[in-house]
C-alpha cells in the first residue's frame, strides 16, 4: 500500500521528545496529542488518531515489529481488562489534574518554579538546562516541565510493555485510547437510539 504523509508521524514523536532535551517549552506541542484525538472522537465519532495518526503507536510498531525489540508475547489479560483500563485512565487524569494544580500554584505565586521533571510520578530529575528563567511566565514553564514528565513517563511505560509483550501493548491501556473509545461508544449508542 502506498505510504501516506501520516505514516511518518513516528519521526515527529522522536523529534518531540528530542526537543524536550533542549528547550522544555516545546513540551506544549504535546497538547496536539491530547486535543486532536479528543476532537476527532467528540466531533467525528472515530479513533482515526489512534488508527492512523498516533506517532507513538507507529514508533512502538517500528521498534517492536520491524526492529524486533518486542518479545511479541501475549499481553496479560488484566492489562486490557475494563477495570484496569478505566482505573489507569482515572489515575492518569488525577495526576494530570495535580499537574494543572501545581501550575496554578506557580501562576498564583504560592509556589516557585521547579526546573525538574518527575518520572513515573516519583523520581525527580533536574532538567534546568532546558529553560532560561524569565523567558516566559513561570506557570507556562511549570506546565511544560509537568507535561513533559507525563509524556516521557508514558512513553517509557510503553517501551517496557512493548519489550515484554506485543509492540502496541501500551495501546490497550493508553488513557487517550480508553477515553476516545469510551466517547465513541457513547456516541455510537446515541446514534442507535435515534
Binding site for another protein (CB under 8 A): 1, 41, 45-48, 50-52, 57, 61, 65, 72, 74-75, 80, 85, 165-172, 174, 177-178, 180-181, 183-185, 187-188, 191
Locate all alpha helices (DSSP H) within the chain, ordered by sequence. Answer: 9-19, 31-39, 48, 55-61, 82-107, 138-164, 170-173, 175-193
Q: Is 126 left (phi over 0), alpha (psi -120 to 50) or beta?
A: beta
Assess contact for 146 and 115: CB atoms under 8 A.
no
**CB of residue 80 vs another protein: minimum separation in angstroms?**
4
Q: Of 19 and 184, which has the nearer Cβ to another protein?
A: 184
Q: Of 44 and 97, which has the nearer Cβ to another protein?
A: 44
Assess contact for 131 and 143: CB atoms under 8 A.
no
**CB of residue 160 vs another protein: minimum separation in angstroms?**
14
Q: Of 127 and 173, which has the nearer Cβ to another protein?
A: 173
Return all residues near 19 (Cβ < 8 A) that are at least 6 apart: 26, 29
Q: Of 3 and 108, which has the nearer Cβ to another protein?
A: 3
**CB of residue 23 vs another protein: minimum separation in angstroms?**
31
**CB of residue 166 vs another protein: minimum separation in angstroms?**
4
Distance CA 31, CA 149 (A): 13
Amino acid at each position: 500500500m502506498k505510504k501516506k504523509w501520516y505514516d511518518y508521524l513516528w519521526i515527529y514523536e522522536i523529534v518531540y521528545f528530542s526537543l524536550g532535551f533542549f528547550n522544555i517549552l516545546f513540551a506544549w506541542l504535546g497538547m496536539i496529542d491530547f486535543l486532536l484525538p479528543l476532537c476527532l472522537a467528540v466531533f467525528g465519532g472515530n479513533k482515526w488518531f489512534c488508527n492512523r495518526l498516533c506517532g507513538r503507536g507507529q514508533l512502538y510498531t517500528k521498534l517492536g515489529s520491524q526492529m524486533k525489540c518486542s518479545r511479541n508475547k501475549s499481553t496479560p489479560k488484566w492489562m486490557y481488562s475494563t477495570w484496569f483500563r478505566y482505573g489507569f485512565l482515572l489515575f492518569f487524569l488525577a495526576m494530570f489534574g495535580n499537574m494543572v494544580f501545581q501550575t496554578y500554584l506557580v501562576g498564583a505565586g504560592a509556589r516557585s518554579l521547579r526546573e525538574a521533571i518527575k518520572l513515573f510520578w516519583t523520581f525527580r530529575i533536574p532538567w534546568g538546562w532546558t529553560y532560561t528563567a524569565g523567558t516566559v511566565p513561570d506557570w507556562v514553564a511549570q506546565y511544560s516541565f509537568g507535561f513533559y514528565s507525563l509524556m516521557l513517563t508514558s512513553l517509557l511505560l510503553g517501551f517496557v510493555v512493548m519489550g515484554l509483550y506485543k509492540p502496541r501493548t501500551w495501546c490497550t491501556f493508553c488513557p487517550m485510547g480508553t477515553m476516545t473509545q469510551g466517547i465513541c461508544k457513547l456516541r455510537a449508542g446515541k446514534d442507535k437510539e435515534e
